[in-house]
Structures are given as structure tokens and as C-alpha cells.
Amino acid sequence: MIETARALSPGITFYVGGAEDVPVLSGEAAVVTSTISFHHWTDRERGVREAYRILRPEGHLVLVDLAGPPWLARILGDPPYGGIKERNEILGRVGFTGIHHESVVHPYLLRTSAEKGPYRGISRPAATGEDHR
């Protein structure tokens, strides 16, 4: 997959590594994205800290991952999904601001976006809800 991504996007640098130990210098990334992997991270807070470390000031983090109820994770054989409450707690502790959540495509697919440093955009309150979302 990484070779295909490099071939299709020659102006972008792609790295292979675990979320908890990203092979990128501090402050080097403008945007960090993670799709459908957050629930598999061994240490979610450590992974979010790594994202924060490698982001430039006012860089952006975008997580898109499953956020369904516990029974769905059990049926699919997945680890528990991180819902809004967990994401708010972790991102807030790490120092992200402007945290925003929204369902995309399906109610159990949650996009979380946040910014490193002072948030200067139009602020939307972080969503609250049941622990499974």
C-alpha cells in the first residue's frame, strides 16, 4: 500500500511506523491523519502524544475510526472502540484544542479533528453523548 501511495503522490512523504513511535522529527508535520486504526493502538494516549509531538504549532489531527457500542466490537472481534468521551479526555490531556466530532457516512464512524496550540478557527463545542459514540 505504501508503495502505491508514493507512486500516486510523488510530492508527499509517507512513513511506516506505529502510532506510539512515529519516525518523524518533532514539529515536522502540518497534518496527522489516522483512519480506522485508532481502536487498534496499543496505547492510545501515547499515540496521540506522538501526533502532538510531530505536529507543527497549530497543526491539525484528524482521526476517523469506528465508535460503535461495545457489542459491535465484540461481534467483529475488535478491541473496544474509543468514543467521544475517551477522545475528549485524551486529546484534552495532551493539549489539543478546537476538538470537534461528527459522524461520517454511518453513525458508528466518527471523525474527530483537533488543533495543536491556540485554536483560532470558528470554535464548535465538542460533542457529548453516550460513551459508545
DSSP state of 105: S
pTM: 0.80
pLDDT given at position 39 = 94
Q: Would you say residue 31 lies in a domain?
A: yes
**Tens place of pLDDT per residue across the chain (133 aa):** 889 999 999 998 887 878 999 988 999 999 999 999 999 999 999 999 999 999 999 999 999 999 989 999 999 999 999 889 999 999 999 999 999 999 998 889 999 999 997 644 433 344 444 433 3
Q: Got the DSSP string for 29-94?
A: EEEEEEES-GGG-SSHHHHHHHHHHHEEEEEEEEEEEE---HHHHHHHTPPPPP-HHHHHHHHHHH
pLDDT given at position 15 = 79
Q: Would you say residue 37 lies in a domain?
A: yes
Question: Which structural domain range is residue 67 located in?
Answer: 2-116
> What total number of domains does the chain contain?
1
DSSP state of 4: H
Q: Would you say residue 86 lies in a domain?
A: yes
